Copies of this chain bind each other. A is one copy, B any other.
C-alpha cells in the first residue's frame, strides 16, 4: 500500500532535486498546515508578499544602520551644523518608522496564517471534545495513563467504523466481484524481507544523549524551520527561502544530511536541551518471535497487501486462471511510530482496506471504465503542482485520454474511490486527487494518485491509488522460488527467439552436493540480462562468481555446469508477471476526516448555547433512529416498544430513550451522535418523525413509522419525498 509512502516501500532516491522554486514556496504552506507530502497554493500570493516584505525589512534595517552611523558621524564631527544633524536624525527617525511599519505588516501577514491555524485549532478542539465525550473514540488504556498512538473506538465510533467497512465491502468487493481474503497479522520475517520492509521501512531517529529519549529527526528539523519562519522577523529573505527549501525536501534527506542540518542549526532535545545523537534508522515494525524457540523472528504486518501477493498463485487459479481480477483485504496493520502526533491520523495500529487488482501489463483497459469517465472532480496533476497552480476540476475521462492518468484501470479506481468517499459524506470541495511527484514515487511505479481530504490538519492522504507494475509479485517470486505469473494462451503458436538456460545437473551435483537444487533454481531464475552476463563471463573466463540468494552464498560456476543459448522456439503461450494496481484505504483517517466534515454547531432554542451536530448520512450514522415516548406514559411506551420491534425486524439500528428529559434535550443528545431520524411517540395512532438537519417533522401512522424510516435510511426514498408525502407537524411540544 502507498499510504504514508515516505517510509513505506523501498523507493528510488532521486539523483538530483528537481523541485522548482515555486513548488518550494508552496511546500512551505503544506508544512505549515502539517499536511504530509501535500502541496497547496491558496496562499502563494501571501507568500510572495512575505518574501518581499522580508527583503524590504532587511533593506530598511541596513538603511537604519547606515543612517545611524551617519548621525553618529555628524555628531562626533565638529564640522556638522545643528540643522544638518537635526535633518539626519529626522531621516533616521523616518527610516525607523518605515521599518516598524514593515515589521508590523510582516507580523500581521504571518499571524494571519497563524490566525487561520488558531481557528482551525479551535474547530478541531470542538470536534475532538465532542468525539471523546460521546465515546466515538477513547485513548486506549486510559486508566493506565494510555499509550501514545493507540485509540479505542467507543460505541458510536465502532458503529461508524463497521458501517464504513460494510459499505466498502459492498461498493468494492461485492460490486466488483473481488476475491476477499483474511490473513494473519503475525508475519514471518522472510515475507517482509522480500517486500523490502525489513530493510527499508524505517524513520530516522535521534536520541537525547543523556536521557535516551527518542525523537524523529525530521520532526525536530521541521519544527525548527517552522518556528523560525513564523516567529523570527529578522531572518533574511534568503534564509527564509533556504528553510522553506529544507521543509519541502525533508523526506529526501539522508541520515547524514539531516544530522548535518541538526548540527548546523544547533538543534537540541526539546524537553531537556541536551545534545542529540546522530540520526539513525529505526525500523517501524513491531517485532516479535513466532513459536517458543526464539529462533523465528516475526513482525506485526505493516500493511495487508503482502498477504494477497503471497497467495497470488492460488487466487489466480481460483479465478479460473484469468486476468484481470482483484483481491481485497480488510484488517489491522501496525506501525511502531517513534513519536505519534495528530490524534487519529497517525497511530500505531490501524485498519487498512486494500485492493490488489492484477492486470496484464499490455492491457490496462477496464470494462466498466465508461461508468466513471464522466465524473468531474478536483484533480491535482504533477504538472500543476510543479508549476505552482492549484488543483482543478477535470473530467476523469479527459485526464485518462490526455495521459495525465496513466491508464483506464487506474482511472476507473480513482473514479470509484471518489464515489465511495463522497457517498460516505466527504465534502466534494475538500477532496482532491493529487498525483505523486517524480521524487515521491517508487522507481518501479507507473503512476500514483492520492485521495487527499482537507481537515484542520491540512490536506490528509487517505487513499493511495498506485500502479505498482510487477514489483511485488517479482520480489516474492525471487525470494520464494515460486513463480507468480500468468499465462496468455495464443490462438496459434508464435515463433520467438529465446534465451534457454539449461543447468547441467550432474556437474552441479558433483560440485555442490546437497545445494544442487538451490543452484539449479537460481540459474533458471536469472533474467535475460543476468543470463547474458553469465554467458559472456563463462565464454571469456571459463567461470563466474554467482550469488545464490536462497543459500546466502556466492559460488563459482564453471563452463561445464550450465548451457545458455539463444534458440528459436514456437511458443503456445506468453508467460508474464502481472502488473498490480493498488487502491489502499486508511480507514481511520477517512473516518476522522468524515467526523470533521460532518460536524457543525447551531444555537439552542433559547440561543444561549451552541449545540453540536454530526450530519452523517444514514449509511454511516452510528444509530439510524431514536424512539422517544414524548412523556412517561405506559401507552406511549407500549407504542415505542412496538415500533422498536418493527425496526429491529427491518434491521434498522435504533435506541429507545424513555428518560423524562425534555424532548429538545433528547434531540440535542442524539444530534450530537449524528442520529438522522427520531420517532417521537406523542399519540397511540400516529407519531412524529423528525429529520436531524432540517429539524422538519412529519406525522406518520404507528404501523408505517418503521418502514418509512427504513426506506429513507436505506436510500430507497429521500427525506424530501417523505416531507412531500406526509402531513407536517409543528407542535410546540416536540419543537426544539
Identify which of A289, A318, A482, A659 gathers the most chain B CB atoms within 10 Å of its CB. A318
Measured between alpha carbons, how far is A217 from B286 in the docked complex, in Å?
30
Identify which of A159, A186, A338 gathers the most chain B CB atoms within 10 Å of its CB. A186
Cross-interface CB contact of A141 among B187, B286, B484, cutoff 8 Å: B187
The answer, yes or no, to whether A419 is at the interface (CB within 8 Å) is no
Asked whether A311 and B142 contact (CB < 8 A) given A293-B213, A332-B185, A348-B186, the answer is yes
**Is the beta-carbon distance between A150 and B282 smaller than 8 angstroms?**
no
Of all chain B residues, the one with the shortest Cβ separation from A656 is B177
Q: What residues of chain B lie closer than 8 Å to A296, measured between beta carbons?
A: 147
| Dominant secondary structure of chain A at its interface with chain B | mixed
Measured between alpha carbons, how far is A157 from B329 in the docked complex, in Å?
13
The answer, yes or no, to whether A336 is at the interface (CB within 8 Å) is yes
Asked whether A161 and B184 contact (CB < 8 A) given A174-B648, A213-B293, the answer is no
The answer, yes or no, to whether A655 is at the interface (CB within 8 Å) is yes
Asked whether A349 and B179 contact (CB < 8 A) given A292-B214, A292-B336, A293-B213, the answer is no
Identify which of A141, A161, A184, A187 gathers the most chain B CB atoms within 10 Å of its CB. A184
The answer, yes or no, to whether A713 is at the interface (CB within 8 Å) is no
Measured between alpha carbons, how far is A349 from B651 in the docked complex, in Å?
31
Number of interface residues of A (CB under 8 A): 80
Q: What residues of chain B lie closer than 8 Å to A293, measured between beta carbons?
A: 212-214
Of all chain B residues, the one with the shortest Cβ separation from A134 is B318
Measured between alpha carbons, how far is A288 from B335 in the docked complex, in Å?
12
Measured between alpha carbons, how far is A293 from B336 in the docked complex, in Å?
11
**Is the beta-carbon distance between A150 and B186 smaller than 8 angstroms?**
yes
Of all chain B residues, the one with the shortest Cβ separation from A283 is B292
The answer, yes or no, to whether A138 is at the interface (CB within 8 Å) is yes
The answer, yes or no, to whether A191 is at the interface (CB within 8 Å) is yes
> Which residues, 554 to 599 on A, are CB-close (under 8 Å) to B?
none
**Is the beta-carbon distance between B318 and A135 smaller than 8 angstroms?**
yes
Measured between alpha carbons, how far is A36 from B129 in the docked complex, in Å?
48
Q: What residues of chain B lie closer than 8 Å to A154, measured between beta carbons?
A: 179, 181, 311, 314-315, 318
Measured between alpha carbons, how far is A422 from B293 in the docked complex, in Å?
41
**Is the beta-carbon distance between B310 and A142 smaller than 8 angstroms?**
yes
**Is the beta-carbon distance between B286 and A476 smaller than 8 angstroms?**
no
> Which residues, 155 to 184 on A, are CB-close (under 8 Å) to B?
155, 157-159, 161-162, 166, 169-170, 174-175, 177, 179-184
Q: What residues of chain B lie closer than 8 Å to A175, measured between beta carbons?
A: 648
Of all chain B residues, the one with the shortest Cβ separation from A155 is B179
The answer, yes or no, to whether A307 is at the interface (CB within 8 Å) is yes
The answer, yes or no, to whether A68 is at the interface (CB within 8 Å) is no
The answer, yes or no, to whether A151 is at the interface (CB within 8 Å) is yes
> Which residues, 303 to 320 on A, are CB-close (under 8 Å) to B?
307, 310-311, 313-315, 318, 320
The answer, yes or no, to whether A144 is at the interface (CB within 8 Å) is yes
How far in angstroms is the closest Cβ of chain B from A507? 28
Of all chain B residues, the one with the shortest Cβ separation from A351 is B182
Measured between alpha carbons, how far is A589 from B177 in the docked complex, in Å?
27
Of all chain B residues, the one with the shortest Cβ separation from A187 is B141
Q: What residues of chain B lie closer than 8 Å to A338, measured between beta carbons?
A: 291-292
Of all chain B residues, the one with the shortest Cβ separation from A161 is B182
The answer, yes or no, to whether A653 is at the interface (CB within 8 Å) is yes
**Is the beta-carbon distance between A144 and B188 smaller than 8 angstroms?**
yes
Q: What residues of chain B lie closer than 8 Å to A313, measured between beta carbons?
A: 143
Asked whether A191 and B318 contact (CB < 8 A) given A148-B291, A336-B292, A349-B185, the answer is no
The answer, yes or no, to whether A152 is at the interface (CB within 8 Å) is yes
Of all chain B residues, the one with the shortest Cβ separation from A349 is B184
Q: What residues of chain B lie closer than 8 Å to A141, measured between beta carbons?
A: 187-188, 190-191, 310
The answer, yes or no, to whether A628 is at the interface (CB within 8 Å) is no
Identify which of A143, A166, A170, A348 gathers the most chain B CB atoms within 10 Å of its CB. A143
Measured between alpha carbons, how far is A175 from B143 in the docked complex, in Å?
30
Measured between alpha carbons, how far is A653 from B184 in the docked complex, in Å?
25
**Is the beta-carbon distance between A291 and B336 smaller than 8 angstroms?**
yes
The answer, yes or no, to whether A300 is at the interface (CB within 8 Å) is yes
Cross-interface CB contact of A282 among B170, B282, B292, B336, cutoff 8 Å: B292
**Is the beta-carbon distance between A290 and B336 smaller than 8 angstroms?**
yes
Q: What residues of chain B lie closer than 8 Å to A484, measured between beta carbons?
A: 143
**Is the beta-carbon distance between B318 and A144 smaller than 8 angstroms?**
no
**Is the beta-carbon distance between B179 and A169 smaller than 8 angstroms?**
no
The answer, yes or no, to whether A153 is at the interface (CB within 8 Å) is yes
> Which residues, 206 to 225 on A, are CB-close (under 8 Å) to B?
212-214
Cross-interface CB contact of A288 among B177, B214, B286, B307, cutoff 8 Å: B286
How far in angstroms is the closest Cβ of chain B from A317? 8
Hey, what's the 0/1 contact readout for A118-160 against B, CB within 8 Å counting as 1? 0000000000000000110010111110011011111101110
Of all chain B residues, the one with the shortest Cβ separation from A647 is B174
Measured between alpha carbons, how far is A153 from B150 in the docked complex, in Å?
27
**Is the beta-carbon distance between B290 and A147 smaller than 8 angstroms?**
yes
Asked whether A310 and B191 contact (CB < 8 A) given A180-B159, A182-B153, A184-B349, the answer is no
Measured between alpha carbons, how far is A315 from B288 in the docked complex, in Å?
32
Q: What residues of chain B lie closer than 8 Å to A159, measured between beta carbons?
A: 180
**Contact sample, A vs B, 5 pairs, CB 8 Å cutoff:** A153-B182, A153-B183, A155-B180, A186-B348, A186-B349
